[in-house]
Structure 1
Amino acid sequence: MRTPVVPGVLAVLLAGCASIPDSGDVEPVKASPAGESQVRVYAVPPREKARPAEIVDGFLEAMTSDDPDFAMARKYLTPEASRYWQPGAGTTVLRAAPDPATPKEASGSETGGLTYPLYGDRIADVDSSHAYQPMEPTAYNGSIHLVRQNIGGTKEWRIDELPQGLVLGESDFQRNYRSVNKYYFASGEDWLVADPVYIRQRIDPTSRMDPVTQAVKELLDGPTNWLKPVVDSPFPAGTALQKGTTSLEFDDRNALKVPLNAKAAKAGRTQCRKMAAQLLFTLRDLTATPVGQVELLADGSSLCVLSGDQAKEFAPDRTTGRPDNPYYVDDQGRLSLLQTAGGGESVDRSQVIGPLGKGELKLGWVGVARDEKHAAGVTKDAKSLYVSSILADSEPGEPLAASKGPDEKRRLSAPSWDGRGDLWVADRDPAAPRLLRFAGGTGTPQPVTVEGLDGARIEGLRVSADGVRIALLLTKDGRTTLQIGRVERQGSGPDPVVSVTALLSAAPQMETVTAVSWAGPSRLVVVGKEQGGVQQVRYIQTDGSTSASSVLPGLNQVTAIAAADDDQQPVVADSEDAGIVRLPTGANWQTMVEVGSSPVYPG
């Protein structure tokens, strides 16, 4: 436990401390150490006749507190600056706490004041809609200006110019905020899409709302700008929480009543059920046990009630109703089912029914449809793509696509299926690069335009279960990066015009990315390495945010990775050193098959 060296900084209290130590060294607190998620920071006002540096340090620390409306932080500001400063305007996230430098002005006269430059590595911005936007580390150059004001009959230093919003180090941001998925419906469809945002871990200093109420408010405010073009929300326009609502509590059955304003009363029963489903899915990230039910109220009257079990019909992937099985390509080039049995100790390696399981085609990459009725296979030379049933025997038939690339690394990529039953694959031929989609996994390939490639080549792809997002591995100038694209569909009917737009960098901190898989509604598992580092396997949110606990146990020479939407299923990988391996919860990597490749879950 640490206590401040001067009154101008903050007292930091750790959850669970029984007493304050009465011995040992005292040291200043510059930022919360990474990983101390239970640290609580309490702001204190500036002391009388505080030096300029104390005012700057005290204000920077006060920004990291939960103080209501940042009241203590505002005590470091002039009245005019306090009225101007809006903490909710957005957050600048630095790799470490902002570091004030020596003031630029040599002297601090009553008229000139002092300017303290702020330095750091900027790694992300969080906008006013709470959307996280990562970036490659860039130099942050902000400043804080101080003047002397007459306070209580004495001249005191106060801040009169400062950056808008909050400026936080990464550890303080992770301590104060948490990622929550809010959910909207894919445009024209009846399944939900995750839209990650960040809310306060505890009471929001500005709104005074608890985390559950914050999440509901964020949902009602509508989707983030990036996702908005491809999703719908059935809440009637103007729907908001009943005025004055700052706390929502689950009862002993884990049920929640949500009081809305009169605008919500316009919703019909079917519409209301979809509204309740959005709330149920949004709130499940905030409870340790499944949400029992949600009841929507409008001006005190009940609109509808939906249970957690009833909400499952709106899930993005509803095709099987049972845990997904992993598949892989065995040492004979056959699509095989990788199924654990006997408490996870024995492994049954069995080829699937149909031509992809016979070994006639010698497969290199595979993709299994989410309903596990069909699969796609790319031949070992990456020239041809085949699709066939894996429930009945048949002949291979003609390939759906063929590449003329000069070698297997510049031909067809591994295939991927979305939740609509469409099949996606990239032709990496330098002379004719294409992203192809096969509606229903059959027929003529439909080229998909990808905006913003800027000369990059699609190396690999994975489509989300909801079908409105795609993870792309893009190679340019010898570097492979991970981008998330928005899948837009123009036109109704069975043959819409499909394009991928608004590419977002999802792992800018990584020098290169080797493999990627969806691992839930807004999470990816990624293989890659940072500049000068070693290869890592880690989880990354689709908005590019990570946490200290996101790195998986070490594994060498990983060439492929696979995860299920159900986080209870183990991650499966292809390691050149260990073969096909899996990572059960709470354990280390375990070899399942010594020789094999292309591990995949359906999707």
Structure 2
Amino acid sequence: MPDSGNLKSVDASQRPDSQSQVRVYAMPPREGARPVEIVQGFLEALTSDDPKFAMARKYLTKKASREWNPGESTTVLADGPNTDAGNAGNDAEGSRRYSLTGRQVARVDEQHAYRPDDAPYTQTVHLSQDGGPGGDEWRIDKPPPGVVLGASDFQRIYRSVNKYYFAGPTGAGVGGRTGLVADPVYIRQRIDPLTQTVKLLLEGPTNWLRPVVVSSFGSGMELKNPNAPLALDDHNRLTVQLNSRSDGAGQTRCKEMAAQMLFTLQDLTPSGVEQVTLQRSNGSMLCVLSQDRAETVAAHRSADRPDYQYFVDEKHRLVRMSANAGSSVDPEPVTGVLGTGDQPLRSAAVSRDEQRAAGVSLDGKSLYTGSLLGADGLGKARLRSKAKSEEDRLSTPSWDSRGNLWVADRDPKRPRLLWLDQGEGDPVEVDVPALDGNIEEVRVSADGVRIALLVEKDGKKSLWIGRADRDEDKDGKPEISVLDPTPAAPQMEEVTAMSWAGASRLVVVGRESGGVQQIRYVQSDGSVLPRTALPGLTGVKEIAASEDERQPLVAHSDDGIVRLPTGSQWQTVVKDGLAPVYPG
């Protein structure tokens, strides 16, 4: 025991993550094992860290082993598959049938993309008595498709990784060719995650994101030796040799490829990847890109740290305070007409460059925009809602990365999602063809490609993520759509507030069925990372987060405007205020 030195408090939450340290080793079938043991042993082997499922294949006949493709899909069940022996059926002498049942919550497809899917799960497993070393052992000749396991095993075995691609020309609100868009996928976290992730990056974007992004890695580009593992050197530098499809790539394109790889791999190791070197198929150098130069090649939106946090104070003015959690939190009115109080506000949004703002009038009827750099007059309203009730009028607006403005008109007689070119053009009604319900709130991601929508149906609100798409009609006028909306918080019965909080992460306020209100992080693909619940807060009405994950959360609650610095508890800023926002 030390007998000198200062005392230092230790946060109990800093203990090692015991679940992440658990490793499961599969066991081969024992001689003379009964059919139910073979089925259960096979399912247990699927939860192991066996790289190629070699042990799981020992439970299959030789023919079934050749045909079974574990990479086809991963089905996630709430509590794992039920293999009750009472489900066994006897087809004939020397054959058995088992029904696997459970509640499916999600499916990971062959591209490793996660999609929520709440449905009953039923699959048949067939066994025959013609396998094994002696030829008369029970073996599975018809396994279930892909891999099937429970949610707890899925969280232990898999981890979420963001691949990065460049925003394409059809993405509405995209900030140009250099803007990067996150494409989340799931990998087996103990099976050479570095090589897995690079291979998935080279394969291209997932189907959902593909229409609005492009990759500098061309079709057919692969690792020169796909079976050789990749590894960082002692200085966290990575060298990747590509096949002959890369040989003709120029320096500009090669550095774009290297930037995609650097940003994709940045969270796989504690200190990140310092440098990527890409080589041609003959081993000669194609290009080198270091981490500190990557931002000059590709704009990683979440790397932009905002200067201020904003909210509407008790005088219904737009005010700001330093975004640095260690700085003074004394709010001050913004420069410009929206900070004077001449037009009382109930909500506002600040452009990502923090040079302009949009505000919704106190009655919710009118939308105004103004500069944060000068004292220009208010001007005319850019948009007016005709709804009779104040609660059914305009939502909080949201700026995309091109400086365009999005807002929902919640008029029950004519609910609409609207887009304003540079915040000043005539409102364009956005087509959302596959959405069932009325849009209550809208938030645009930093990349401008994905749109988070709070949708009301039958008195309850749910969170959806859509893909923004831009086109033009025959007269050259913009046509904006939000396509393929997918649920982003299916585990919550109701979501009351949300905000983007990273490249593919959102913070949501809501409750699960039969539960109380909680604040937690969710992934844009609908998955929930373990241990992402946040400290409780009473009566949260609105919440704001920055895509820069180092910035504190800000919320409007029963305690007023509060914020949550990293590793701390909620702290009250002012007792009276509403509508907190970060730029965006």
Do they superpose with TM above 0.5?
yes
Quick check: 1:220 aligned with 2:202?
yes
For the residue of structure 2 that corresponds to 1:216, the secondary structure is helix
Determine if the alignment matches structure 1 residue 303 to structure 2 residue 286: yes
Q: Which of residues 230, 236, 247 is equivalent to 2:212?
A: 230
**Are 1:594 and 2:575 counterparts?**
yes
- Tell me which of 44, 67, 77 is aligned to 2:27: 44
Query: Which residue does the alignment assign to 2:524?
Result: 542
Query: Which residue does the alignment assign to 2:310?
Result: 327
Aligned partner of 2:130 in structure 1 is 149
Equivalent residue, structure 2, for 1:10? none
Q: How does 1:265-304 map to 2 (within 5 A)?
A: 265-299=247-281, 300-304=283-287
CA distance in structure 2 between the partners assigned to 1:279 and 1:218 by the alignment: 11
Match status 1:508 vs 2:490: yes
* Alpha-carbon distance in 2 for matches of 1:165, 1:433: 42
- Alpha-carbon deviation of 1:283? 0.7
Give me the whole-angstrom Cα distance separating, in 2, the residues matched to 1:349 and 1:145: 68
1:428-577 matches, within 5 Å, as: 428-454=410-436, 456-491=437-472, 496-575=478-557, 577=558
Residues 523 and 529 in structure 2, CA contact (< 8 A), matched pair in contact too: no
Distance apart, 1:316 and its partner CA = 4.7
Give the match's secondary structure for 1:558: coil
Q: CA deviation at 1:428?
A: 0.9
1:431-467 CA distance string (max 9 Å, x none) = 222211111121211221112123x111000001111
CA distance in 1, matches of 2:410, 2:116: 28
TM-aligned CA distance change 1:143 to 1:496, over 3 Å: same
The 1:153/1:417 distance shift into structure 2, 3 A limit, reads closer
Could you say if the C-alpha distance between residues 244 and 433 of structure 1 is closer, same or farther in structure 2, counting changes exceeding 3 Å?
closer
Q: What amino acid is the match of 2:185?
A: V
The 5-angstrom pairing of residues 291-370 of structure 1 reads 291-299=273-281, 300-316=283-299, 322-339=305-322, 343-344=326-327, 346-370=328-352
Question: Could you list the per-position Cα deviations for residues 394-428 of structure 1 after superposition, in whole angstroms to 9, with x for gaps in the alignment?
Answer: 21110100101111221100000111111111111
1:122 has 2:110 as partner: no
2:77 match:
94
Indicate conservation of the 8 Å contact 1:104/1:114, yes or no: no
Q: Is the 8 A contact 2:302 2:502 kept in 1?
A: no
Distance 1:554 1:394 in 2: 41
Which structure 2 segments of 5+ residues have no match?
Answer: 1-14, 170-176
- Alignment-mate amino acid for residue 143 of structure 2: L
The separation in 1 between residues aligned to 2:446 and 2:342, in whole angstroms, is: 30
Q: Distance in 1 between matches of 2:18 and 2:379?
A: 55
The 3-state SS of whatever aligns with 2:330 is strand
Q: Separation in 1 of the partners of 2:395 and 2:420?
A: 14
Correspondence for 1:180 among 157, 161, 172? 161
On the 8 A contact 1:257/1:296 being kept in 2, the answer is: yes
Return the alpha-carbon distance in structure 2 between the equivalents of residues 59 and 235 of structure 1.
38
Contact 1:192/1:316 (8 A) holds in 2: yes
Q: 1:318: how far off?
A: 5.6
Query: 1:402–1:320: structure 2 CA closer, same or farther, 3 Å change rule?
Result: farther
Tell me the SS of whatever aligns to 2:156.
helix
Q: In structure 2, the residue corresponding to 1:46 is in which secondary structure?
A: coil
From the superposition, tell whether residues 241 and 196 of structure 1 become closer, same or farther in structure 2 (CA, over 3 Å). Answer: same
Match of 2:12 in 1: none
Q: CA deviation at 1:143?
A: 2.4
User: CA-to-partner distance for each residue in 1:144-182, whole Å, 9 max, x for gaps?
Assistant: 222222644473221122211000111111111111100
Find out whether 1:578 has 2:559 as its counterpart: yes
8 A Cα contact 2:408 2:442, kept in partner: yes
Q: Which residue of 2 aligns with 1:60?
A: 43
Classify 1:319/1:239 alpha carbon distance in 2 versus 1 (closer, same or farther; 3 Å). closer
CA distance in 2, matches of 1:226, 1:35: 35
**Conserved 8 A contact 2:91-2:97:** no
Give the RMSD, CA atoms, in angstroms.
2.2
Measured in 2, the distance between the counterparts of 1:314 and 1:583 equals 33
CA drift at 1:291: 2.4
Residues 32-91 of structure 1 show CA distances to partners (whole Å, capped at 9, x for unaligned) of: xx9712211111111111122221111110011122421111111112221221111110
Return the alpha-carbon distance in structure 2 between the equivalents of residues 151 and 248 of structure 1: 36
Query: Residue 47 of structure 2 aligns to which amino acid in structure 1?
Result: T
Q: For 1:224 and 1:569, how far apart are their aligned partners in 2?
A: 29
Answer whether contact 1:480 1:514 (CA < 8 A) is retained. Answer: yes
Q: Which amino acid is 1:302 matched to?
A: M
1:93 Cα offset (Å): 0.3
1:266 alignment partner, SS class: coil
Instruction: Please point out which of 161, 165, 182 is paired with 1:194.
Output: 182
1:99-151 deviation per Cα after TM superposition (whole angstroms, max 9, x unaligned): 2022445658534x222221221100000000000133x22112222222264
Aligned residue identity for 1:167: V
Residue pair 2:180, 2:301 contacting (<8 A) in 1 also: no
1:324 CA drift (Å):
3.8
Gaps of 5+ in 1: 1-15, 18-33, 204-209
C-alpha distance in 1 between matches for 2:126 and 2:438:
47
2: distance between equivalents of 1:320 and 1:226? Answer: 24
8 A contact 1:448–1:498 mirrored in 2: yes
Whether 2:379 is the aligned partner of 1:391: answer no
Q: Deviations over 1:477-512 (max 9, x none)?
A: 111111101001124999532211111111111111
1:545 aligns to what SS in structure 2? Answer: coil
Give 3-state SS (helix, strand or coil) of 1:100's partner.
coil
Shift in alpha-carbon separation, 1:310–1:533, aligned structure 2, 3 A: same
Q: In 2, are the aligned partners of 1:92 and 1:168 still within 8 Å (CA)? A: yes
Report the 3-state secondary structure (helix = DSSP H, G, I; strand = E; otherwise coil) of the residue aligned with 1:310: helix
Name segments (4+ residues, structure 1) moved above 3 Å.
103-109, 150-155, 313-324, 340-344, 491-496
Matched, 1:85 2:73: no
* Stretch of structure 1 that moved more, 218-227 or 267-276: 267-276
1:418 partnered with 2:406: no
CA contact (8 A) 2:74 2:147 kept: yes
Aligned partners of 2:419 and 2:444: how far apart in 1? 11
Q: Distance in 2 between matches of 1:342 and 1:422?
A: 29
Report the residue type matching 1:308 in the other structure: Q
Question: Deviations for 1:331-362, whole angstroms, at most 9, x for unmatched residues?
Answer: 11000002267935x42110111111111111
Structure 1 CA distance, aligned partners of 2:481 and 2:564?
35
**Which of 160, 171, 177 is the aligned partner of 2:152?**
171
Letter in 2 for 1:165: G
Give the whole-Å Cα distance in 2 for the aligned partners of 1:565 and 1:342: 15
Q: Percent identity?
A: 56
